[in-house]
């Protein structure tokens, strides 16, 4: 078993090195200057360039550059915390805590939660706000540029303090390998990652002797100060730096949500800082703020959750603002019910401070208090539902374009509805008491923090990428990445909700074997999330150096629906001033908001008909192509049967699963039927979003994705080399299916002129 600490650092370093390799290779394939507009980007590494770069980025007060620093920092923290999450899910692949061990799982649980909530989500959204808020407001910069820079530069040391245990532990092991045991190794080895849980509940966090807990608390306190400074800056900027024509009635939704978020930060984070100071005093001075003879352990829970639940909306509201800003652009309509979305945002901000105790229903509080908090928790669902209904109405009868940002917007509505409904159940006291300690809570919470929140981060990165970089990204890869992220996230966390309904306790590294299949499905979904993040990172980095330069500021055709907003107008002026690119005008325009029914939003069916073509023709061709792929797959599976790595028992179990006679022939017939109908139709539906330029290449991509489901469904207790052979043969069989499917569709398209 590899050392978990070394593995965490090793994976993080490997990803960073991979980014450098991608950047280096992209510079060799990038667009070269042709005497016209853009110049190529070089990745020059020498003393002078490094020194100039460090001086520029460490002293800048430009709001766009500070925004990029926030985004880069948040991305690195997200990767670090994401590695912790992947290692947790890897441990949960097996019922016994045998991949790592229980202490390591507790450390991963603690560091994952703290890193993602405090150093990933908020910095990313504040980075987006720093870059685009002044552009949306018509301001030259943030109100306090130097304070803006100070607020950011507090975050790196805060993260280092919070994660010093891991860095110190790895340093001690590295020095021990080089020099053996000595005083320096003992010094660094004194710290280790804490395993007290990300909520830092007392008395465990007070009584645990690990000095890293003190550094963690100091890091959280410093990050709270940084966040509060940034929030004050946002509030002042929105109030006093708006252009003359940007009235409160014309303020964009994203600015409204940043304003509300900043107000929540100003009220919530100082309270967390005060609670942390009291905890530090209890640990180091001997005070009794959280001791039985003092305020009691529940005092920490009250203080923490009075901050903690507003924190949920601190990270949710910017995502909701991005949704309200981006979604209408790909529907050809303005946001439905602008005023009600604003009012719902303000209502969430107010109500968020009155629901904290639903996290404490199992602590034995007064039933009358529990009833009150149950009512307020249910009430806060009303403004959230208003947002959902307005988003859905905006889509209704619009000109929907399934770009990568739009895929993520639609998926965000889906996950938010599921998360909201499960949250309503948790608001009810008896249900909360039953499921509070189960995976139900984990699934509900992560359908928010790994649903609409990261989905809208990715959507914003795609939507504004041309403005930030002046380049275009690979749109096909972006659509595939978005779809993969949605599949991985919904798979993982809906399965966790199911595990919670089955009353599997959370926070444990081991669990009863009966839950193993669902845990394994959840882990596979988590791996899909990790793959999608790496694909996004590749697309962003490669396109920065090798992507086609922007030659028209209207990259999303926003002028056609008169939604070419202020930040894109700024970008158009910049292209004209720097590169001489003249503004473009569309041949026809249609108002995004009108009361004239004759020029209203066109029906979405006009877009669907040319997309799917003749249904009957597609079903027939898909069935034939699927049958060809299934027969080729059968040949490979027959080889597996012959060498003993694939068992016909799998087909027998498949037949019994649906109540058919338990015979291998019946199961195989069902297998052929599914391979000729379900899979081809699914492929035809998503083919345009898969990587690859030819049907065969896309068929291979599709087959690779669906392999994971086959591995679970047809597994018959192989072990050792037989298991390795089973996995390898399953992949080869699916590749054979993908080649057959793609080749047959390619032939039909060429020979019979069928549009598939």
Distance of CA 443 to the CA centre of its chain: 14
For the segment 190-209, the average pLDDT, to the nearest whole number, is 91
- The dihedrals phi and psi of 705, each to the nearest 5 degrees, come to -65, -45
DSSP for residue 504:
P
For the segment 134-154, the average pLDDT, to the nearest whole number, is 93
pLDDT at 124 > cutoff 80: yes
* Residues above pLDDT 70, as percent of the chain: 92
Q: Please say whether the dihedral angle defined by the alpha carbons of residues 319, 325, 330 and 334, taken in this order, is positive or negative.
A: positive
Measured between alpha carbons, how far is residue 408 from residues 36, 314, 323, 379, 490 in Å? 35, 20, 9, 27, 12
- Lowest model confidence (mean pLDDT) among 10-24, 56-70, 501-515, 587-601: 587-601
More confident residue, 27 or 144: 144
Q: Is 259 helix (H, G, I), strand (E, B) or coil?
A: helix
Mean pLDDT value across the chain: 87
DSSP for residue 243:
-
Residue 206, pLDDT score = 92
Residue 7, pLDDT score = 84
d(CA 384, CA 379): 9
More confident residue, 562 or 262: 262
User: Token pair 């990803």 is at which residue?
Assistant: 15
Domains of the chain by residue range: 1-30+48-190, 559-608, 613-751
Which residues, 6+ apart, have CB-to-CB distance to 131 below 8 Å? 63, 64, 67, 68, 71, 464, 468
Residue 196, pLDDT score = 92
For the segment 387-392, the average pLDDT, to the nearest whole number, is 92
pLDDT at 586 > cutoff 80: no
- Lowest model confidence (mean pLDDT) among 61-75, 374-388, 491-505, 584-598: 584-598
d(CA 483, CA 479): 6
For the segment 224-247, the average pLDDT, to the nearest whole number, is 94
Composition of the chain by helix, strand, coil, percent to 5: 75, 0, 25
Residue 596, pLDDT score = 60
- Half-sphere exposure for 320 (CA within 13 Å, toward CB): 32
pLDDT at 612 > cutoff 60: no
For residues 130 and 142, is the Cβ–Cβ distance under 8 A?
Answer: yes
For residues 744 and 622, is the Cβ–Cβ distance under 8 A?
Answer: no
Residue 738, pLDDT score = 87
Residue 42, pLDDT score = 64
Residue 181, pLDDT score = 81
For the segment 497-517, the average pLDDT, to the nearest whole number, is 92
Encoded tokens for 522: 């959840």
Residue 611, pLDDT score = 41
More confident residue, 742 or 28: 742
Residue 592, pLDDT score = 65
Q: Where are the alpha helices (DSSP H) in 251-337?
A: 253-284, 297-326
Element (H, E) at 204: helix 204-207
Dihedral of the alpha carbons of 668, 670, 673, 675, in degrees to the nearest 10: -70
Residue 603, pLDDT score = 41
pLDDT at 602 > cutoff 50: no
Q: Does residue 203 have a cis bond before it (omega within 30 degrees)?
A: yes
pLDDT at 37 > cutoff 50: no
For the segment 514-527, the average pLDDT, to the nearest whole number, is 92
Residue 593, pLDDT score = 65
What contacts 24+ positions apart, CB below 8 Å, involve 502-506? 503/434, 503/435, 503/438, 504/438, 504/439, 505/437, 505/438, 505/439, 506/437, 506/438, 506/439, 506/441, 506/442
Residue 607, pLDDT score = 41
């Amino acid at each position: 078993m590899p050392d978990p600490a070394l593995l965490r650092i090793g994976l993080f370093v490997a990803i960073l090195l991979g980014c450098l390799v991608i950047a280096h290779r992209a510079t060799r394939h990038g667009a070269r200057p042709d005497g016209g507009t853009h110049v190529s980007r070089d990745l020059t590494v020498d003393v002078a360039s490094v020194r100039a770069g460090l001086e520029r980025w460490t002293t800048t007060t430009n709001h766009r550059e500070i925004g990029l620093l926030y985004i880069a920092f948040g991305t690195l923290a997200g990767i670090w915390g994401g590695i912790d999450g992947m290692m947790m899910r890897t441990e949960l692949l097996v019922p016994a805590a045998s991949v790592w061990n229980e202490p390591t799982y507790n450390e991963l649980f603690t560091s994952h939660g703290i890193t993602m909530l405090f150093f990933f989500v908020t910095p990313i959204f504040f980075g987006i706000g720093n870059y685009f808020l002044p552009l949306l407001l018509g301001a030259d910069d943030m109100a306090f540029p130097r304070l803006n820079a100070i607020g950011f530069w507090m975050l790196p040391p805060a993260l280092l303090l919070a994660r010093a245990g891991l860095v110190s532990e790895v340093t001690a092991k590295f020095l021990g390998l080089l020099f053996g045991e000595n005083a320096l190794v003992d010094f660094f080895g004194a710290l280790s990652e804490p395993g007290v849980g990300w909520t830092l509940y007392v008395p465990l966090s007070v009584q645990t002797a690990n000095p890293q807990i003190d550094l963690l608390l100091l890091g959280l306190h410093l990050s709270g100060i940084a966040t509060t400074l940034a929030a004050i800056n946002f509030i002042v900027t929105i109030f006093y730096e708006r252009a003359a024509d940007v009235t409160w009635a014309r303020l964009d939704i994203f600015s409204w949500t940043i304003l509300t978020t900043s107000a929540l930060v100003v009220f919530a984070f100082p309270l967390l800082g005060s609670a942390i100071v009291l905890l530090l005093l209890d640990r180091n001075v001997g005070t009794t703020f959280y001791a039985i003879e003092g305020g009691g352990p529940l005092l920490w829970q009250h203080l923490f959750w009075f901050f903690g639940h507003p924190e949920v909306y601190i990270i949710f509201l910017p995502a909701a603002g991005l949704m309200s800003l981006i979604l209408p652009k790909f529907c050809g309509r303005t946001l439905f019910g602008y005023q009600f979305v604003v009012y719902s945002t303000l209502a969430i901000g107010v109500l968020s401070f009155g629901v904290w105790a639903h996290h404490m229903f199992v602590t034995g509080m007064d039933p009358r208090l529990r009833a009150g908090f149950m009512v307020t928790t249910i009430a806060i669902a009303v403004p959230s539902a208003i947002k959902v209904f307005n988003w859905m109405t905006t889509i209704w009868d619009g000109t929907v374009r399934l770009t990568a940002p739009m895929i993520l917007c639609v998926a965000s509505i889906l996950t938010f509805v599921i998360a909201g409904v499960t949250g309503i159940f948790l608001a009810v006291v008896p249900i909360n008491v039953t499921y509070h300690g189960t995976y139900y809570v984990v699934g509900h919470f992560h359908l928010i923090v790994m649903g609409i929140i990261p989905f809208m981060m990715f959507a914003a990165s795609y939507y504004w990428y041309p403005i930030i970089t002046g380049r275009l990204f690979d749109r096909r890869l972006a659509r595939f990445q978005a779809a993969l992220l949605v599949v991985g996230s919904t798979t993982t966390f809906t399965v966790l909700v199911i595990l919670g309904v089955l009353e599997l306790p959370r926070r444990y590294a081991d669990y009863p074997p009966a839950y193993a299949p669902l845990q394994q499905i959840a882990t596979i979904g988590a791996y899909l999330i990790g793959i999608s993040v790496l694909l996004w990172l590749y697309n962003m980095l490669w396109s920065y150096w090798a992507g086609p330069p922007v030659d028209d500021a209207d990259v999303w055709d926003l002028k056609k629906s008169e939604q070419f907003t202020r930040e894109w107008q700024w970008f158009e002026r910049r292209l004209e001033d720097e590169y001489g690119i003249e503004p473009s005008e569309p041949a026809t325009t249609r108002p995004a908001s009108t009361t004239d029914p004759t020029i209203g939003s066109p029906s979405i069916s006009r877009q669907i008909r040319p997309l799917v073509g003749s249904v009957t023709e597609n079903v027939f061709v898909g069935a034939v192509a699927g049958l060809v792929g299934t027969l080729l797959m059968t040949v490979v599976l027959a080889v597996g049967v012959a060498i003993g790595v694939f068992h016909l028992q799998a087909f027998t179990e498949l037949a019994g699963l649906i109540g058919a006679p338990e015979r291998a022939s019946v199961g195989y017939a069902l297998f052929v039927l599914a391979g000729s109908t379900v899979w081809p139709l699914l492929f035809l539906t998503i083919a345009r979003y898969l990587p690859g330029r030819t049907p065969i290449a896309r068929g291979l991509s599709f087959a690779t994705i669906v392999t994971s489901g086959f591995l679970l469904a047809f597994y018959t207790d192989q072990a050792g080399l037989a298991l390795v052979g089973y996995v390898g043969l399953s992949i080869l069989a699916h590749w054979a299916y993908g080649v057959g499917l793609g080749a047959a569709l390619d032939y039909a398209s060429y020979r019979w002129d069928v549009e598939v």
